[in-house]
Amino acid sequence: MNTAVVIFPGSNRERDLCLALKRATGRDPLCVWHRDSELPSVDLIVLPGGFAYGDYLRCGAMAAHSPIMREVKARAERGTPVLGICNGFQVLTEAGLLPGALLTNRTLNFICRDVHLRVETNQTIFTCGYAAGQTIRVPVAHHDGNYTADEATLDELEDRGLVAFRYCNAAGEIDDDANVNGSAHAIAGIFNRGRTVLGLMPHPEDATDPLMGCGTDGSALFAGLVGALQ
């Protein structure tokens, strides 16, 4: 399985991501620079976390208009799976590949810690390595992860089963204290309508190596992708 990682000036999570992808696929991902306007044929495109273009104007706003994103959008429209993690999720919303937007955390703090997530569905290429309703533990590290969208969009996400992950407590219950950043409906990640694009704020790639001390609950996301796409 061939994967590509898009790197913007200010991306900083691409190394962990590349290691996680290599661990799952057995191959080094292709790293693509933001100024490139062409992508070889790949099975999965991933946008890493970080602070693309210094998060100037709005998180992800400048990156969403970079040359490579025109190609990423065209590929996504033709069905190539796209995964955006943290800043990558922000870029996907700004690029219009996912609905809604990510506001400043309600506490105004940069939050860097492990959180629990409830896997809302396993009927997707991204989450097929989990059980539906499973609670997993992965880290978050963000300042602007407070998901928001208008009521009609939130209703659509719920009605079509497009919520991928929600913040929950260790017992898997959705409660306000577990909602680290104040996201609407405790949303931590969403799919597009075709479930071929996933954006999420937490970092599954940082929970794939026991050495990191964050557990390995993120591994099933990458292993599931390999199983589904290979």
Partner 1 sequence: MKARIHVKLKPGVLDPQGKAIGNALRSLGFTGIDEVRQGKLIELDLADTDPQSARARVEAMCRTLLANPVIEDYAIELG
If the CB atoms of residues 61 and 223 are measured against partner 1, the closer one turns out to be: 61
User: Distance (Å, rounded) from C-alpha 8 to C-alpha 73?
Assistant: 16
Active-site annotation holds for 86:
yes
Active-site hit among 18, 143, 205, 214: 205
Return the residues of window 155-194 that contact partner 1 according to CB under 8 A: 182
Active-site hit among 34, 168, 203, 214: 203
If the CB atoms of residues 58 and 185 are measured against partner 1, the closer one turns out to be: 58
If the CB atoms of residues 17 and 98 are measured against partner 1, the closer one turns out to be: 98
Amino acid at 69: M
Whole-number minimum distance, CB 55 to partner 1, in Å? 13
User: Distance (Å, rounded) from C-alpha 36 to C-alpha 45?
Assistant: 14
Whole-number minimum distance, CB 108 to partner 1, in Å? 5
The arrangement of strands across the sheet holding 187-191 comes to 30-33, 3-7, 44-47, 82-85, 197-200, 187-191, 163-168, 111-119, 135-142
Active-site hit among 18, 59, 86, 214: 86
Active-site annotation holds for 77:
no
Q: How many helices (H) and strands (E) does the chain have?
A: 5, 11
β-pairing verdict for 82-85 and 44-47: parallel
Return the residues of window 62-121 that contact partner 1 according to CB under 8 A: 62, 65, 93-94, 99-101, 103-108
Active-site annotation holds for 205:
yes
Tell me how far the alpha carbon of residue 81 is from its chain's centroid. 12
Return the residues of window 6-45 that contact partner 1 according to CB under 8 A: none
DSSP-assigned letter for residue 105: P
Cα distances from 184 to residues 137, 150, 153, in angstroms, run 20, 10, 11
Instruction: Choose, by CB under 8 A, the member of 146, 179, 208, 219 that binds partner 1.
Output: 146
- Segment interacting with partner 1 (CB under 8 A) among 28-36, 147-155, 191-199, 216-224: 147-155
**Which residues are within 8 A (CB) of 64 and not within 5 positions of it... i.e. 6 or more apart?**
91, 94, 95, 96
56 binding partner 1? (CB under 8 A): no
SS3 176: helix
Instruction: Choose, by CB under 8 A, the member of 33, 57, 74, 79 that binds partner 1.
Output: 57
If the CB atoms of residues 51 and 53 are measured against partner 1, the closer one turns out to be: 53
Binding interface with partner 1 (CB under 8 A): 57-58, 61-62, 65, 93-94, 99-101, 103-108, 146, 148-150, 182
Catalytic residues: 86, 203, 205
